[in-house]
Every structure is written in C-alpha cells, then in structure tokens.
Amino acid sequence: MEIQKKQPTTNGVRHQINLVKSLLTKRSHLVKTLLKGFKKQSGRSSVTGQITVRHKGGGVKRLFRIINFDNYNYTAIVIASLYDPNRNSFISLNYDLLRNSFFNTLMTDCVLPGALIKCANKKHDYYLGNRFRLEDIPAGSVIHSVALVKHKPATYIRAAGTFGQIIQKTLTFCRIKLPSKKVLHVSINAFATIGTISNKVNNLVYIGKAGRSRLKGVRPSVRGIAMNPVDHPHGGKSNAGKPCVTPWGKPTKGQPTVKKKKNL
C-alpha cells in the first residue's frame, strides 16, 4: 500500500498524507451478517449520561465488522481486501470451502485476493496467511495474531504493520518477541498466523487538520492550566509548582501504570 501527499491547494490539505486505497474493494454486499450496528460512541454512560471517557463524541457513523480470531480448522479463499473503520489494519473477506460460509480475518501483508489460506492442527505448507500451532512453526519465523491458549482467540500482535518472532521453543512453551521488544512465554499448543499484519505505512499517515479528527470521533482536549481551579488541579493559570497531575489528582509523570506480572 502506497501513501500520497496532497497538493497544497488549501490550508486543509497542505500537510495531508493519505493512504492510496485503490487496491481495496470499495463495497462488499456479499455477506451483510458480518456487519453489526452499534449505538454511536459518545463517551457517556447510557444510564446516567455522565462523561465516562473524555475527548470522545461526534464522528461519522460506522458499522462493526465481525472478525474471526478463532482457531478452528478451515480452508478458505481470499475474496476481497476491505477497509475497516474500527481498526488501523485492513481485513480480508474469505470463503470457507469446508463450511460454505464467509468470514473476515485480519489481512496479512502480501496476501491478495485469490490466495488460499488454511488453519489446521497438522503441519502444512508454510505460506503467508496460514495459521498453525506454534509447535509446527519453525523458530525464527515472523508471526502475528498470537493466542495465549489453544482454545482462546488471538490476543497479541494485531495492530497494523506489527509482527512478532519466535526466538525459542521447548517441549512445553514458546518464547515470542513482541513488537514492544518484550518476550512473551506462550504454550506451544497456542495458534499464530505466519506473516506480518497489513498496512505497514499506517504510521506515516498525517491527518493534516482538526476536522478529520472530529470526523473520527475525537473531540478537542483542553489544557488543565487553561481551566478554572474548580475544574482541574492546574486551574487558575498556575499549577503552584506542583508536579503534573490528572484532573483527579494522580501523577502523570514518574508513576508506573503497568502492573508487574511474572510470566509462568
């Protein structure tokens, strides 16, 4: 997928860098059961109406695409590559030859429509997009959509352009290097997909103006020092020499937010 820089005809497009989505299918009315409509995300409680998540609201309507992260056996043909407004990676519409049904999966880079993908408990050809147990994937392979347990859906390495690598295998567990450079210990019976997630150039996209952020449901964020003292600890045009805190008084710098959890 390529990126395109807009011509500076107006101030709104002067710095825009967009994805060229000519290789994606614009519409697919094959399976409407894979689409679900949800209530518009406003960042408020549906019961009390109070704000539960700040800086959310507005935006255009979008349907939720049901993605298959499961590990059941299938042999499918990739029919189309689609855009998903709910995630930064693309998705693939597949036709299952065994069950005569359609399903969506995360698109693997370089796996185009017409390709054959498989998910099996036994060893098969090591092609991009195929999903096997970690026991059957050679060490050093590039993988994504890793499941922690055999019967659990994929949990790790699902963002655009990310991939992990198998660095060690034993009889019971497997060590995987995550995109964050951390090492994850996973059961050797867990499943993973060979290859890299699509849309590698997603980090190069530049929105260029605030209006496009508003269309995505992102509202403006106001600095605490610009508020009144009743609204924020930094309010009143001075934070009184105190360290930076959240609106609820918790430190924003120097406080660990990740729980220390030992890997078994």
pLDDT tens-digit profile of 63-89? 888 999 988 899 999 999 999 999 999
Which residues neighbour 32 within 8 Å (Cβ) at sequence distance 6 or greater?
none
pLDDT average, residue stretch 20-40: 79
Q: Is residue 254 part of a domain?
A: no
CB 106 within 8 A of CB 92: yes
* CATH number of the domain to which 136 belongs: 2.40.50.140
CA angle, 225 then 250 then 234, to 5°: 15
Instruction: Answer whether residue 262 shows pLDDT above 80.
Output: no
Task: Report CA-CA distances (Å) from 84 to 71, 160, 202.
Answer: 22, 12, 13
Q: Is residue 71 part of a domain?
A: yes
How far is 166 from 135, CA to CA, in rounded Å?
11
Q: Is residue 212 part of a domain?
A: no
Q: Is residue 10 part of a domain?
A: yes
Q: Is residue 218 part of a domain?
A: no
Q: Is residue 255 part of a domain?
A: no
Quote the domain boundaries for residue 123: 2-202
Q: Is residue 248 part of a domain?
A: no
Instruction: Answer whether residue 91 shows pLDDT above 90.
Output: yes
The 10 Å Cβ neighbour count of residue 173 is 18
What are the b/e assignments for 12-36, b being 16+ CB within 10 Å?
eeeebebbebeeeeeebeeeeebee
Look over the chain and give the mean of its residue pLDDT values, rounded to a whole number.
88
Prediction pTM value: 0.84
H-run or E-run covering 106: strand 101-106
pLDDT of amino acid 264: 53
* HSE-up of residue 52 (Cα within 13 Å, Cβ side): 9
Instruction: Answer whether residue 236 shows pLDDT above 80.
Output: yes
Overall number of domains in the chain: 1
Q: Is residue 207 part of a domain?
A: no
